[in-house]
Structure 1
Amino acid sequence: MNDTQAPVWITSPGSLNRTIQCSDATGLTNAQALAPTASDNCTVNLTPVKTTGSFVTGSCPQSGTYTNTWVVSDDCGNTSSVYTQVITIVDTQAPTLTPPADITIYKDAQCNYDAAPAITGSASNVVDNCDPNPSVSHFDNPGFVFNPVNGDVNHGNGYSFPFVVRGMDGLTAADIKSIMLYISTNQELSSLEYTLISPSGQGIILVGPYCASCNPGNTGNFKPTFYPASSGYPKWNSSNLITDSNGNYTPSDGVSYVNPTPPELTAGYISKFEDFTGPMNGTWTLFAIKDGTSSGHGAFNGITLTPKLCNNSDIIVRSWTATDACGNTSPRYDQVIKVLDNTVPVWTSVASSLDVTIECNNVTGLAAAQAMQPVASDNCDKALVIKKTSGAFIPGTCPQKGTYTNTFTVEDNCGNQVATPFVQTITIVDTTAPVLSEAPADVTVECNAVPVAATLTATDNCD
């Protein structure tokens, strides 16, 4: 009697395959411990023989495969087909990091600054599940940037997209320099509405309000920038035909009539950025909604809110990310860098250089002296406005002489005021003697004919 039938595998093909995260050592051990089972028509105790495959790197060092194979033979030497197990190692976990702390730096004497990470700090605690050395990068924005993962606006119920502004202590919500909006649509713009809602619950319509009868506008990608009403830019309204991807506007000054009302809108609508109240810091919301009866859809792709600091100060929102060797990139971690000008102006005019002494009757000289003003310089502000406080005339030892004491101050456009006021003293003097009228001629008279004394007059430059 002969046995010519080879053993067969009971374990179904592929059932031992596993996909495991690169950091899951226990999972890999358990997968490597798996083994298929087989049966034979005659031999009861079968022992599969495993050939362990080495790790084959995939598209990155932390991913790849182990391919293990088994064969089994019965007591008569009949050998089974090869059973294959594939253990796939993947790395889908992004690194994490700790961004540097928010920081304030200051401009130097030339109005320059250095915001390099060596000065402002670098990311720390960069950790990845598998890659021991993830790469760290950063990019700078002029404001607070939010890009939603999914910004589709494709039905009429509305979507709320919250984002956080921080580090702007001392600013109010009205201190907006600009809002840049990134939107797209494959239908008319008049069917879309985008409302910005402050941390205090006030809302302002940037785009809209939508209406079915308005000019349909264009389709495509749009990047309008909105400024305070004081900018003088035109208002965006739902009947505008926007012909390119960029444009400068002020908010629409409208009141929405759509339902539902944004849940974050608790303090009503305002018409311009200057009307915002409450803090700049906190959670802002971009509420997007479309006319539910319109076909197509729109998309909110992002927003940049740039606060308004003084003219010679800046804000940098530095976004840090870490990427491992498998291309997994961490979420964005933001660091707020405020660049301020805290250098006070200085007087370039020498102290007392405007002091003058003038005769009391020199009206022209007094006017010229009063028109003088000192010169100041500043590291950043090249258009300083000097303010004068004119002093009243203070009489001296006689009514015609005395002093005017004028003081000057200067403040740059970041509110830095010169340390010491400049003082000008105008001294009024009277050094000219009066002049008598001509006396009568000498005469010789008899003792009993002495004439009455003549009355003389005198003139003076001031008295």
Structure 2
Amino acid sequence: MTDENDNCSTGIQATYQDEVTPGACEGSFVITRTWSLVDNCNNAAEDQVQIITVSDNTAPTFTAPASIEIFTDADCNYDASIAITGDVTDENDNCSTGIQATYQDEVTPGACEGSFVITRTWSLVDNCNNAAADQVQTITVTDNTAPTFTAPASIEIFTDADCNYDASIAITGDVTDENDNCSTGIQATYQDEVTPGACEGSFVITRTWSLVDNCNNAAQDQVQTITVTDNTAPTFTAPASIEIFTDADCNYDASIAMTGDVTDENDNCSTGIQATYQDEVTPGACEGSFVITRTWSLVDNCNNAAQDQVQTITVTDNTAPTFTAPASIEIFTAADCGYDISVGSTGDVTDENDNCSTGIQATYQDEVTPGACEGSFVITRTWSLVDNCNNTAADQVQIITVSDNTAPTFTAPVSIEIFTDADCNYDISVGSTGDVTDENDNCSTGIQATYVDSEPTPGTCEGSFVITRTWSLVDNCNNAAEDQVQTITITDNTAPELVTELNRNISVTCDNIPEVPQLNFQDNCSAEVTVAFNESSTNSGNASNYVITRNWTVTDGCNNEATITQSINVTVSDVTANDAALCITEDFDLDLFTLLNGVNDTSGTWTVVEGNATINGSLFNPTTLLDGNGSYTDSQLGVYTFRYESSQNSTCPTEVEVSITINDECVVLPCGAEDVIISKAVTPNGDNINDFFGVTGVESCGFVIELQIFNRWGAKIYENFNYQNDWYGTSSKSSFGNSNTVPTGTYYYIINLKNSGLKPFAGPIYVGTK
């Protein structure tokens, strides 16, 4: 209270008393505050009451359980209780205690039977009706139980009269107990694999049954074996009973050619079956007559047997002569278009018979008319038979048809590869690819092979194609040779060409090496070519002349490759050396630079290459080779080599060697060039004569023989810097045929006798290896 006032008293203050009562919910209260004011004279104002309402407006908090997937059981039921799916355990409020979250479920069907989606909405309200924001938990109910079923039992079924069989499920059995915890109306399906059985008409069907429920849970496949068997006996008709007649010798012919054969063997499944028979012969009513009881039998390939049938053959002797002309026949021309119409080829009468006459023979007359094409004819052969009493049998006619059934022959040109020209064109005329020149037929003349070309098939690159040429040949009787195929492969084998002028071989000094030129190339077929450039150098960093080799490798789309090479011969240094000879006792400093010509740069380094000598910069004193007593041994005499190197310019370095021969008061070594003996020929044939190349005559001088052998083209084939007189015509650089000996011929040697002071020896050597 801030407006206390009194007519007399000053500084007075109101006071209050609170009475607190609980509100409607936890955390809410009603405070009744009574205010009082008394002045300094105890005059009291009327009390005033203030009502203070304390409310809880803070919402509680909680966390819904995580979304979860649960599964149906064997009865397609599921348990979505909070014990399975999770409960809220962290309900919290600033005032209210003991509050519990609650939920509402909304269930919607899933993608297949037995699957659902439960949307569980969790809510929490405190005792003062402050509500937390709802939270959603998704519970996915899934069916992961595979269905069950029982495949039909394995079964044997039988083929019908047409060798067909019915393997439908109506005959072989169906699955009737498909079952799933959730899915309804599911049906098992099957796949058949058919393999032939042990005989015609029998099979084994492996039927694999499968079952998948509506949620794609698959049962284990089950196999039913269906055996298809042929149990139908074959059928046939035995030849009709027949009467046959004895011949002039009272013999008879009861072969099936005369009495009849079974021609209608039939089976529902087996093919190629043949009836067989057994004969039982009993005498007839009179001499010369017989009754043959012929029992016919037939069994198919599956051992099903038809009922036996009996043919009765009555053999009778009659008086009239009989004969049977050979059946009409077709014969064929031979390789030379000739034909054989002798009775040995066309058939003869073999059953001439008469009750009295013996030795009678049927005769014939031929009438020949041309056929429809070259080499074909029709021969009408009329057979006649007369007995000795001029009783004549009715003439019988045999038609002999002579046909040409021999196909002509030819040889198609071999498959060929031809190449495009400079304009990427090609010529596939027979003049270029080959023609048939050996058409031949036994009868027809003038026949010619023809061909048909396929459309060109593009090859693997521009300018390449494949044409399939099919050659055919038919003779005048329409006998066709088997077609022959010639493959014509069109290839671009022309490498790209350089169209820029290029000096291929040049010589320059090391300070005048030209830049790499820009070259242009073109190809006959490929629009684009690939150019690869590389450069190599024999420059080893010393002062030797070297060669720079520049290679441009250009490749077209067909991998035809050309390499353009430019060789640049680089001259490095024109410094020359003058060798010297000194006596070991000469005591003076020799400046090695005085032995060189053309040296402009003296900032390089001198080193000792050969010999145990010491130098001071460019100064050499022979007496430094003597021992402390001024003595020496023979080993200190000989050639000492010194090298000067300067590499101020890496492309133009200087390197030169100078040799100084140290002698004993200038005395010449005891071995000279006239003492050296060198072989003139090597014939390694094992006769111990000239088997090896020899360098002899100076063995006592202790020289080391350095040998090199070259062929007539200058290629080095052998090298040995400590040669021991053991070369017999071998090559250390390459192989010749199946051995490593060189061919017979003339070769060339270079021999250096190291430490001899002699110039190298060179000359020809004949090698005979055969």
In the alignment, what sits opposite 1:356? 243
Which ranges in structure 2 are unaligned for 5 or more consecutive residues? 1-53, 320-354, 359-770
Aligned-residue offset at 1:125: 0.8
Q: 1:104 to 1:343 in 2, by over 3 A?
A: same
2:310 to 423, 448, 453: 423
1:28 to 62, 80, 99: 80
1:378 aligns with 2:250: no
Aligned-residue offset at 1:123: 0.8
In the alignment, what sits opposite 2:232? 343
In the alignment, what sits opposite 1:72? 124
Aligned partner letter, 2:193: N
Q: 1:26 to 1:13 in 2, by over 3 A?
A: closer
Aligned-residue offset at 1:430: 5.3
Aligned-residue offset at 1:418: 0.8
Q: Deviations over 1:126-169 (max 9, x none)?
A: 10010121133222111xxxxxxxxxxxxxxxxxxxxxxxxxxx
1:48 to 101, 105, 114: 101
SS at match of 2:162: coil
2:180 to 119, 122, 128: 128
In the alignment, what sits opposite 1:88? 140
SS at match of 1:27: coil
SS at match of 2:171: helix
1:114 aligns with 2:166: yes
Are the aligned partners of 2:162 and 2:269 in contact in 1 as well (CA < 8 Å)? yes
Aligned-residue offset at 1:73: 1.6
Aligned partner letter, 2:298: V
In the alignment, what sits opposite 1:149? none
Cα distance in 1 between the residues matched to 2:237 and 2:295 = 15
Cα distance in 2 between the residues matched to 1:359 and 1:65 = 101
Aligned partner letter, 1:80: A
Aligned-residue offset at 1:344: 0.7
* Structure with larger RCO (C-alpha < 8 A, sep 6+): 1
Q: 1:80 to 1:362 in 2, by over 3 A?
A: farther
SS at match of 1:378: coil
In the alignment, what sits opposite 1:62? 114
> Which residues of 2 match residues 399-414 of structure 1 at below 5 A?
400-414=288-302
Q: 1:103 to 1:322 in 2, by over 3 A?
A: same
> Which residues of 2 match residues 33-432 of structure 1 at below 5 A?
35-37=87-89, 38-53=91-106, 55-142=107-194, 306=195, 308-349=197-238, 353-359=240-246, 361=249, 363=251, 365-367=253-255, 372-375=260-263, 376-391=265-280, 393-395=281-283, 400-419=288-307, 421-429=308-316
Q: Deviations over 1:255-278 (max 9, x none)?
A: xxxxxxxxxxxxxxxxxxxxxxxx
Cα distance in 1 between the residues matched to 2:78 and 2:212 = 25
Aligned partner letter, 2:207: R
Are the aligned partners of 1:346 and 1:377 in contact in 2 as well (CA < 8 Å)? yes
Deviation beyond 6 Å, 4+ runs, structure 1: 459-462
Are the aligned partners of 2:244 and 2:252 in contact in 1 as well (CA < 8 Å)? no
SS at match of 1:118: helix
Aligned-residue offset at 1:110: 2.0
Aligned-residue offset at 1:411: 1.4
Q: Deviations over 1:194-252 (max 9, x none)?
A: xxxxxxxxxxxxxxxxxxxxxxxxxxxxxxxxxxxxxxxxxxxxxxxxxxxxxxxxxxx
1:19 to 70, 87, 90: 70
Cα distance in 2 between the residues matched to 1:119 and 1:70 = 59
Aligned-residue offset at 1:84: 2.9
Are the aligned partners of 1:354 and 1:374 in contact in 2 as well (CA < 8 Å)? no
Aligned-residue offset at 1:122: 1.3
Cα distance in 2 between the residues matched to 1:427 and 1:364 = 10
Q: 1:338 to 1:80 in 2, by over 3 A?
A: same
Cα distance in 2 between the residues matched to 1:24 and 1:127 = 12
Identical positions, percent = 32
In the alignment, what sits opposite 2:444? none
Are the aligned partners of 2:147 and 2:212 in contact in 1 as well (CA < 8 Å)? yes
Aligned-residue offset at 1:68: 0.7
Are the aligned partners of 1:369 and 1:426 in contact in 2 as well (CA < 8 Å)? no
TM normalised by structure 2 equals: 0.31
Q: 1:140 to 1:98 in 2, by over 3 A?
A: same
Aligned-residue offset at 1:422: 2.4
Are the aligned partners of 1:356 and 1:369 in contact in 2 as well (CA < 8 Å)? no
Aligned partner letter, 2:140: T
SS at match of 2:80: helix
Q: 1:461 to 1:398 in 2, by over 3 A?
A: farther
Aligned-residue offset at 1:89: 0.8
SS at match of 1:126: coil
Bigger CA radius of gyration: 2
Are the aligned partners of 1:348 and 1:377 in contact in 2 as well (CA < 8 Å)? no
Q: 1:44 to 1:86 in 2, by over 3 A?
A: same
Aligned-residue offset at 1:405: 3.1
Cα distance in 2 between the residues matched to 1:373 and 1:120 = 41
Q: Deviations over 1:20-77 (max 9, x none)?
A: 2264535235658854231223211203232222x22232232231011111121233
Aligned partner letter, 1:6: A
Q: 1:115 to 1:362 in 2, by over 3 A?
A: farther
SS at match of 1:124: coil
Cα distance in 2 between the residues matched to 1:322 and 1:120 = 18
Equivalenced residues, count: 266
Are the aligned partners of 2:205 and 2:225 in contact in 1 as well (CA < 8 Å)? yes
Cα distance in 2 between the residues matched to 1:323 and 1:32 = 28
Q: 1:385 to 1:371 in 2, by over 3 A?
A: same
Cα distance in 2 between the residues matched to 1:367 and 1:307 = 38
Q: 1:87 to 1:333 in 2, by over 3 A?
A: same
Are the aligned partners of 1:358 and 1:426 in contact in 2 as well (CA < 8 Å)? no
